[in-house]
Structure 1
Amino acid sequence: MKILIVVPSFRNGGTITSLKNLVSWLDLFKYQIDVFAITNTGSNRDFIANYVNVLGHSLDDKQIGHTPIVSIKNMVFIIVKTLKKLLEKIGIDISPIAFKSVVPKLEKKKYDLVIAFQEGQATRFVSYFKNTKKISWVRCDYSNMLRITNQKPQHKLYANIDKVVCVSEYTKNVFISLLPEAAFKTVSLHNLMSDRLIIEKSMDINELDSNFKFDGFRIVSIGRIDPVKRFSLIPEIVNNLKKRKLNFRWFIIGEGEGKEKELLIDNIFKYSVQNELLLLGEKNNPYPYIKRSDLLVSTSKSEACPNAINEAKILGTPIVATDFGSVYEFIEDNVNGLISPIETIADKIEQMIINETLYNKIKNNISHFKYDNDEIINVLYNDIIVS
């Protein structure tokens, strides 16, 4: 079977982490897999190329695969790309024009299955394929995504998709509440996690950031710096904990841009927590940091299938998380982690720092955790790819 997987880019984030795990699990003798990035940016391309065929170029380049486009088309492409950026600034999206010009070139490869590995542009791109089975992954709280992007439910878009895969039962229920006509073709499936690889990579301490050295209680938060993760609220939480005379340091691993990052930095100085809260930036291998932290904290407003929480469980690191919709699928409160509204999360973190009995109970419970990839693989093969 010949499969094309479409992703927005190769930048670090939940989608690419999930893709890494997927390609490391798939039976590559049974499937011929190509990966195409709409925007050919990010540091994970080489890793993915070790497992599958990454198409050489994307919408940002002058060719796809190894087939050159004649110079006149190159000029048109450059003009369209520049025009697209200008129009996006005033709220006009001309991506469909580019998508319609690229899809026919990919269709010549005669794929049996085309997968949009994320909602949004990847799904829109895949929707233009004809005469092939199309699957779309939904990796967000769909209602929250519509609200943030000021869109209405995308009935017409998903009518062109043969199967929809939501990465938690919660996200599935939200999705079909807004698109009830898609209920018959929508399933829930947690992300695959390469637990062996995660554990192996957690042992690599050669490139640990020197700023991570600290003898007290280490807290880590991981993810892209955007409004959904709410990292800009962490400085106030840190200040709250600082006033309680606790010996801790909080590290944020991830990158971002725009207002959320500006607000995060502004708040670090506003609350004078430069010594207690450190931004370590993007890390291709975050696992040594999770493994060597005493606590992973998720401040998210919304999560679909939280990779960082699952990774922490695999590595035996206790968790405190906010009460986002899907959290109860992944954390059993007071058993393998603590769940709290964002307003009282400082209290839960303090409990984990000062209550040794509670902390050790949760850490012991997590030490017995095993991620069930076998069931996920079974559903993926039999109910999604083959069906």
Structure 2
Amino acid sequence: MKKKILFVNGHLNVGGVEKSLIDILKNFNYEEYEVDLILFEGLGDYYNELPNEVNLHFLDITSTYGSYKECIKKCLKKKDWFTFFMKIILILSSKINQKFLKLARPLLKINKYYDCAIAFRVGFCGEVVGNCVNSKKKICWWHHGECQYSEKTRKRMIETFDMFDTIVSVSKGCQLMIENYFGNLTNKTIVIPNMIDIESIENKAKLFNPYLNDEHEWKFITVGRLSLEKHVDNVVYIANELLQQGFNNFIWYVVGDGPEKDKIKQLINEYNIKNYIKLIGSKNNPYPYIYYADLLIHTSLVESQCLTVLEGLTLQKPCIVTRSIGPEEFIDQHKNGILTTKDPSDISKEVLLLSKNKKLKEILICNSLKTVQRTYSIEIIMKKIYDSIN
């Protein structure tokens, strides 16, 4: 008899967490496992990559978002009783105790008994699995590169973790961070990094060359959400620093969208460097932009693991990376990549060094793919996942 596994997540929009989830589901052994997936916020960009074997249950709770009065008013007008009762339960859960979520079981219709239930995000997904799912084993995935919560939220998260058998962290640095921050997790935490599907990435990377008409000697690429923690505005300051040093035969492509986009556009105009930086938006397939570039520069201040850099290494790109707990785990300085501070002058120095030192560039390229093959291959990561759920 097949073992029954449940994954719970918000959506399948483009993002590191969702990419990791899709990679796991695409490589599951469906001859031995029956897999259900519950989503609460939407299907998203990766929906088309979801294997047919996965039983998808979409329970849209987005209509519960917003103020209590407005939500209840709309529910009564539309006779939307699912949203009406979910909103009340969520308020009770938030204001009194998360155990009130147990009242949502009939609404969510999670009636199966599972061999293993996996909350692929902390927060609401974790609380639903903890309170509403019957299973032999419960696992919660931790993907975040920092812990900055109010004391009330921290205590609530500890209550949630108490309902789980295992807390999975995507890096050793993250594991130590959450053990120190939450306490009493030492016997529960394990490390399962996000996998890198080398063959798929290589195939997608060669589908087209986005720079066919670009004659710049150096093409830089940065891939990431345009949000505060990704610090993509630093691209402007680094580019300006390079220009002041007389290094000007480059173009810098930025793949991604987010709330900081207008701010970054404004900075580009202020520094009058729109001929050197191109914001090209989010891409379902960013790999050609990495593969055909000369250098990947990652500016993020917070990374639990850093899929983008690992994908860059997979495509044998030299990578200059701002230090954080994720990349510090796999970047060996000046051997398979370059770690630096967030200071634009430090990053620009490394760019200039790499532009002049062909030997260093060759070393980085030579060692990059080996790093991924050694630790992050599908076979290695899926074995860790099967070991954790059995």
Instruction: Say yes or no: TM over 0.5.
Output: yes
Query: Is the 1:217–1:294 contact (alpha carbons within 8 Å) kept by the matching residues of 2?
Result: yes
Q: How does 1:82-121 map to 2 (within 5 A)?
A: 100=102, 102-104=104-106, 105-121=108-124
- Separation in 1, partners of 2:319, 2:34: 38
- Separation in 1, partners of 2:96, 2:10: 16
Query: Is the 1:218–1:293 contact (alpha carbons within 8 Å) kept by the matching residues of 2?
Result: yes
Q: Which residue of 1 aligns with 2:188?
A: 185
Change (3 A) 1:93 1:288: farther
Q: Report whether the alignment pairs 1:217 with 2:218.
A: yes
- Separation in 1, partners of 2:77, 2:145: 42
Q: Report whether the alignment pairs 1:135 with 2:139.
A: yes
Q: Which residue of 1 aligns with 2:316?
A: 316
- Output the aligned Cα RMSD: 3.2
Higher mean C-alpha deviation, range 122-131 or range 271-280? 122-131
Q: Which residue of 1 aligns with 2:129?
A: 126
Shift of 1:112: 2.3
Moved over 6 A (4+): 80-84, 92-98
Letter in 2 for 1:312: G
Selected match of 2:352 from 334, 342, 350: 350
Residue by residue, what CA displacement relative to the aligned partner does 1:111-157 show, whole Å, maximum 9, x if unpaired? 2221111223322232222431221100012424x37x994352212
Letter in 1 for 2:303: E
Q: How does 1:216-255 map to 2 (within 5 A)?
A: 216-246=217-247, 247-255=249-257
- Separation in 2, partners of 1:106, 1:371: 42
Q: Which residue of 2 aligns with 1:194?
A: 197
Query: Is the 1:222–1:253 contact (alpha carbons within 8 Å) kept by the matching residues of 2?
Result: yes
- Separation in 1, partners of 2:95, 2:278: 37
Q: Report whether the alignment pairs 1:160 with 2:180.
A: no
Identical aligned residues as a percent = 24
Q: Which residue of 2 aligns with 1:262?
A: 262
Query: Is the 2:210–2:292 contact (alpha carbons within 8 Å) kept by the matching residues of 1?
Result: no
Query: Is the 1:137–1:166 contact (alpha carbons within 8 Å) kept by the matching residues of 2?
Result: yes
Q: Which residue of 2 aligns with 1:18?
A: 20
Change (3 A) 1:120 1:82: closer
Total equivalences in the alignment:
367
- Separation in 1, partners of 2:200, 2:239: 32
Query: Is the 1:226–1:256 contact (alpha carbons within 8 Å) kept by the matching residues of 2?
Result: yes
Higher mean C-alpha deviation, range 119-128 or range 92-101? 92-101
Unpaired runs of at least 5, structure 1:
63-70
Residue by residue, what CA displacement relative to the aligned partner does 1:296-331 show, whole Å, maximum 9, x if unpaired? 111111111111111111111111001112322121
- Separation in 2, partners of 1:197, 1:40: 25
Residue by residue, what CA displacement relative to the aligned partner does 1:272-308 show, whole Å, maximum 9, x if unpaired? 2211111111111111111111111111111111111
Higher mean C-alpha deviation, range 73-82 or range 347-356? 73-82
Selected match of 2:382 from 371, 377, 382: 377
Change (3 A) 1:287 1:156: same
Query: Is the 1:214–1:249 contact (alpha carbons within 8 Å) kept by the matching residues of 2?
Result: no
Shift of 1:190: 0.9
Structure 2 length-normalised TM? 0.84
Higher mean C-alpha deviation, range 221-230 or range 369-378? 369-378
Change (3 A) 1:187 1:100: same
- Separation in 1, partners of 2:14, 2:298: 17
Q: How does 1:266-281 map to 2 (within 5 A)?
A: 266-281=266-281
- Separation in 1, partners of 2:233, 2:100: 35
SS at match of 1:54: strand
- Separation in 2, partners of 1:179, 1:159: 11
Residue by residue, what CA displacement relative to the aligned partner does 1:53-83 show, whole Å, maximum 9, x if unpaired? 2224432489xxxxxxxx9995234567899
- Separation in 2, partners of 1:79, 1:94: 18
Letter in 2 for 1:125: V
Shift of 1:30: 1.0
SS at match of 1:379: helix
- Separation in 2, partners of 1:318, 1:122: 37
Q: Which residue of 1 aligns with 2:282?
A: 282
Q: Which residue of 1 aligns with 2:73?
A: none
- Separation in 2, partners of 1:96, 1:261: 36
Letter in 1 for 2:181: L
